[in-house]
Amino acid sequence: MRTCIFYLLVLLLVTSCAPGGESDRMEDLLEKMTIEEKVGQLIQYTGRWEMTGPAPGNDYAQTGLQKIESGELGSMLNVTGALATRNAQELALNSRLGIPMIFGYDVIHGYRTMFPMPLAEAATWEPGLARLTSRVAAIEAAAAGLHWTFAPMVDIARDARWGRIVEGSGEDPFLGSLFAAERVKGFQGEDLSANNTIAACAKHFAAYGFVEGGRDYNTVDVSEHTLQNIIFPPFKACVDAGVATFMNAFNVIGGVPSTGNSAMVKGLLKGSWGFEGFVVSDWNSVGEMIEHGVAADQKEAAQLAIEAGCDMDMEGYCYENHLKELIESGEVAEALLDEAVLRILRVKEDLGLFDDPYKYCDKEREKELLLHPDHLALAREVGKRSLVLLKNNEALLPLRKSGQKIALIGELAAEKDSPLGNWRAQAIANSAVSVLEGVKAKAEDSQVFFEKGPRYVSSETGFLTPLEINTTDPRGIKEAVAAARRADVAVLVLGENCFQSAEARSVTDISLKGFQKELLDKVLEVNENVVLVLMNGRPLDISEFIDRIPAVLVAWHPGSESGNAIADVLFGDYNPSGRLPLSWPRSVGQLPLYYNAKNTGRPTDERNLVNTSRYIDLSNDPLFPFGFGLSYTSFEYSDLQVSEPGLGAGESIEIRATITNTGEVFGEEVVQLYVRDVAASVSRPVRELKGFRKIGLEPGSSDEVTFTLKPDDLFYFGADRQWGIDPGTIQVWIGPNAMEGLESSFEIQ
Ligand code: BGC
């Protein structure tokens, strides 16, 4: 790991990524451009038919090449590899003005080396790690000719039914903003024109994580209050971190599609926040304004989008087919087109494409850097740090390396593909280290016997598709139960394959699919020492089993080094330090579920009175709260102190507590600071995360952790539609998760 960290530190030592460099050169270029060439800069084609939405209109193979040659295609997505990007770039440079193209791609959690899915990475509660993994993803992608990633996704999400919850950092704006900023800095480095940095893209602006019922692409209806206080902060954090681009969301908010939302994109993003980069639509989100019912046809959609500040049309063909006509008829001012073109050209300029358009496509570098051992070492390090231990009765974990009979059960345990996660860019299929491989490599004198259990994927096709979960073939349960019977401990790897979460993977049932429940039930009948390892892209409903399973480890889809990272934790070579970046529901019926909720006028409590805000058939509480996670050691919190009784303008206050490792091994604890503004101009959350620190403690040792708050750390968007705070009481907690902790208070003066 030491070489890996050294290598990464060197990579981090490179220098201002804010878009908007020398503009005169670009203005001169703009002067020379025909209207067709200008419109061309605003168009993005996909390079192949692997796509995430229906591709209307043209086939790149037929018209794309001609368009590039005539200087009428400014960008492509899904063209990857040093060779392919060089070939396409050559065509663009041979066009009349030789304006280089910008190649974008979904480099979400790695390019060839896969890191944990973003939600899993957020479970490390170490945003600095996200900077490192994004840095490496950029290094690999840039060597393979790419200039731009459609990441980070910074949508706050509260509903585990929504498949894309796995692509973000969970439910909290504070945690989410830190991860968002670090990812931007990681992708873009300190110098966007370096040959190993790529432009980032904050997506999806905005509120896509709030689709009704968790159904992808569905309607969103949220208040300005929620937009400002919960949804926007991670986007703002990206702007502050110098993000080069933004992507529109598919959804409407209050009936207005984000792609046509002038107040949000022009007014807020490009206006108040001063964002200087460019905005790309999502895949055909310009054209989808027809389906949304706000544009009669492509022409009207194009007009709405350009007037709302959408600079580039991804696979929508509306700009291509209608912008010229709209400008020539005077329906759209040419100044709008010019502004969009300039924004795009400036990002290209900041990337250094006008100086050396080929510096990103370097076959040698590509060969040398993809899957570099240091990248894999980082994947293992971040992988193990992303695992969350939810339960560990009677220290069933860690497993023993000798003298233990371990039954490893479940098709996912031997799987080498799913652990790579969804949105796996150019990962090689079936290239992850499986849990079986990882466990076997570590179990020195312990015996490991593997049983697949019932088929998890379709026995007909053998493919991991989201819908073909085999529910008809229980063969394999018998063998699995027999293996569990003769073992000291049964480790079951269950959950979701990677194509069951992410885009277009919404579900109404978040429990274990197929025959997995039956398998678990039957194994528990013969061996009570069960360790459940979940592979998952969302919290899964395990309530039915939780009292009977002594140990649960959430592994998510941790990437290329999955099996090694999981084995590191299972055998105690790494003491788990991950914490949930979202509330873990008891049932799908609790969704949307989030810790930073409002109190309501009739809050419920342990008395469970009838006319209070609760369900009559289930507790309001999550099964595991936001911030929760166990360790192989234990920690005690004591001596909470608040430095001053009050906090006035221009002042700061310190809140501190002592944390002691009361167990027997070294461990890391995520110490969390929460606040509540008891009486404000609008109802404030019952708790809000305002700080956290991961600390390592030797057994028996203690550390004092201090957080400093200033008034503006507590600002909220209030009834007067301004950010601020009024005098009154602030409750504070320092604790291990959103439902526990030592409590005190101070006054805002
Ligand atoms: C997704 C985006 C993605 C784009 C390009 C869309 O369907 O919503 O997140 O970046 O496709 O692949």
Q: Could you tell me which residues are beta bridge partners of residue 45?
A: 76
The response to whether residue 155 sits with its C-beta less than 6 Å from ligand 1 reads no
Q: Are residues 429 and 527 in the same domain?
A: yes
C-alpha of residue 283 to centroid of ligand 1, in Å? 6
Q: Is the pLDDT of residue 52 over 60?
A: no
Q: Is residue 563's pLDDT more than 80?
A: yes
Please tell me the predicted confidence (pLDDT) of residue 59.
Answer: 54
Tokens of 653: 């206050």
Angle in degrees, 0-180, between the axes of helices 334-350 and 318-328, rounded to the nearest 10: 130
| C-alpha separations of 612 from 269, 603, 615 in Å | 40, 6, 9
Residue 144 pLDDT exceeds 80 = yes
The reported pLDDT for the residue numbered 463 is 44
To test the pocket of ligand 1, the residue of 203, 283, 284, 315 to mutate (highest count of ligand atoms within 8 Å of its CB) is: 283
| CB of 283 shorter than 6 A to ligand 1 | yes
Ligand 1 mean position, distance from CA 204 (Å): 9
The SS3 assignment for 208 reads helix
pLDDT of the residue at 389: 99
331 in a structural domain: no
Ligand 1: centre distance to CA 313 (Å):
12
Closest CA to 500 of 533, 472, 551, 463: 463
Residue 492, beta-bridge partner list: 409, 532
pLDDT tens by residue, 511-539: 998 889 999 999 999 999 999 999 999 99
Q: How many domains does the chain have?
A: 2
Instruction: Verify that 426 and 528 share a domain, yes or no.
Output: yes
> Per-residue pLDDT averaged across 276-297, rounded?
98
d(CA 337, CA 341): 6
**435 in a domain, yes or no?**
yes
Q: Tell me which amino acid residue 527 is.
A: N
Judgement on whether residues 412 and 542 belong to the same structural domain of the protein: yes
Assess if residue 135 is contained within a domain. Answer: no
Distance of CA 567 to the CA centre of its chain: 24
DSSP string, 317-371: -HHHHHHHHHHHTTSS-HHHHHHHHHHHHHHHHHTTTTT-TTTTB-HHHHHHHTT
- For residues 563 and 643, membership in a common domain is answered with no
Spacing, Cα 203 to ligand 1 middle (Å)? 9
State whether the Cα torsion 42-43-46-47 is positive or negative: negative
* Residue 150 alpha carbon, nearest atom of ligand 1: 10
Q: Is the minimum distance from the CB of 106 to ligand 1 under 6 angstroms?
A: yes
CATH at 522 = 3.40.50.1700
Which of 528, 546, 571 lies at the terminal end of a domain, its last residue?
A: 571
State the amino acid at position 345 in one-letter form: L
For 236-275, what is each residue's pLDDT tens digit?
999 999 999 999 999 999 999 999 999 999 999 999 999 9
Nearest ligand 1 atom, CA 204? 9
Cα–Cα distance for residue pair 224/463, rounded to 1 Å: 43
User: Is residue 644 domain-shared with residue 563, that is, in the same domain?
Assistant: no
Q: Distance, CA 423 to ligand 1 centroid (Å)?
A: 10
Residue 297 among the catalytic residues: no
- Distance set, CA 747 to CA 163, 217, 691, 707, 744 (Å): 42, 43, 19, 16, 11
Q: Whole-angstrom Cα distance, residue 310 to residue 184?
A: 21
- How many CA atoms, within 13 angstroms, populate the side-chain half-sphere of residue 676? 18
315 lies in some domain: no
Co-location of 443 and 544 in the same domain? yes
Closest CA to 107 of 73, 74, 147: 147
pLDDT at 473: 73
Mutate to test the pocket of ligand 1, among 204, 205, 282 (most ligand atoms within 8 A of CB): 282
- Please say if the pLDDT value at position 427 is more than 60: yes
| CATH code, domain with 695 | 2.60.40.10
- 558 and 639 co-located in one domain: no
Separation between Cα atoms, residue 243 and residue 49, nearest integer Å: 28
| Catalytic residue of the set 282, 362, 541, 677 | 282
732 falls within a domain: yes
Predicted TM-score of the model (pTM): 0.95
Q: Quick one: what percent of the chain has pLDDT higher than 70?
A: 93
Lowest mean pLDDT among 109-113, 433-437, 516-520: 516-520
First to last CA, the chain: 49
* Residue from 52, 164, 259, 314 whose mutation best tests the ligand 1 pocket (most atoms within 8 A of CB): 52
With a 6 A CB cut-off, is 45 part of the ligand 1 pocket? Answer: no
665 contact partners, CB below 8 Å, separation of at least 6: 572, 575, 632, 633, 699
Q: Does 168 sit in the ligand 1 pocket, CB within 6 Å? A: no
pLDDT of the residue at 456: 61
Domain that holds residue 729: 635-748
640 and 725 fall within a common domain: yes
The answer to whether residues 547 and 686 belong to one domain is no
CA 570 distance to own-chain centroid:
25
Q: Which of 51, 78, 106 to mutate to test the pocket of ligand 1 (most atoms within 8 A of CB)?
A: 106
For 651-669, letters b (16+ CB in 10 Å) and e give eebebbbbbbbebeeebbb
- Strands 667-677, 256-257: parallel, antiparallel or unpaired by DSSP? unpaired
CA distance 89 to 92: 5
- What are the pLDDT digits (tens) for 570-594? 999 999 999 999 999 999 999 999 9
pLDDT (0 to 100) of residue 84 = 87
* Residue 185 CB less than 6 A away from ligand 1: no
Residue 443 has pLDDT above 90, yes or no: yes
What are 341-364's pLDDT values in tens digits? Answer: 999 999 999 999 999 999 898 899
Please indicate, yes or no, if residue 695 is contained in any of the structural domains: yes
Q: Is 52 in the pocket of ligand 1 (CB under 6 A)?
A: yes
Does 350 contact ligand 1 (Cβ within 6 A)?
Answer: no
Distance 618 CA to ligand 1 centre (A): 37
Q: Which of 571, 603, 626 is the last residue of a domain?
A: 571
In the sheet where 102-105 sits, what is the strand order? 148-149, 102-105, 75-77, 43-46, 313-314
Mention every residue, 6+ apart, whose C-beta is less than 8 A from residue 47: 60, 64, 76, 77, 78, 79, 80, 84, 88
The protein residue whose alpha carbon is closest to atom 6 in ligand 1 is 283
Determine if ligand 1 sits within 6 Å of the CB of residue 746: no
288 lines ligand 1 (CB under 6 A): no
Q: How far is the CA of 143 from the centre of ligand 1 (A)?
A: 22
Q: Give the ligand 1 atom nearest the CA of 203.
A: 9
Domain check: are 562 and 688 in the same one? no
Structure-block tokens of residue 364 = 């040698």
Instruction: Evaluate if residue 634 carries a pLDDT over 80.
Output: yes
- Contact criterion met (CB below 8 Å) for 648 and 712: no
Please give the mean pLDDT across all residues of the chain.
93
pLDDT-derived band of residue 678, with 50, 70 and 90 as boundaries? very high
Q: Is residue 481 part of a domain?
A: yes
Residues 658 and 511 reside in one and the same domain: no
Same domain, 558 and 447: yes
Domain end, chosen from 520, 554, 571, is at: 571
> Residue 48: what pLDDT?
60
CA distances from 126 to 6, 159, 164, 538, 670 (A): 18, 23, 21, 20, 9
Nearest-CA residue for atom 10 of ligand 1:
150
Query: 445 alpha carbon to ligand 1 midpoint, in Å?
Result: 47
pLDDT of residue 475: 83
Mean pLDDT for the stretch of residues 560-578:
98
Whether the per-residue pLDDT at 56 is higher than 60: the answer is no
The CA distance from 560 to 379, in Å, is 7
| Rounded Cα gap, residues 319 and 286, in angstroms | 9
Lowest mean pLDDT among 1-15, 35-49, 107-121: 1-15
The pLDDT value given to residue 62? 56
526 located within any domain: yes
Query: Which residues, including other chains, have CB under 8 Å from residue 509's CB and lie 6 or more apart?
Result: 541, 588
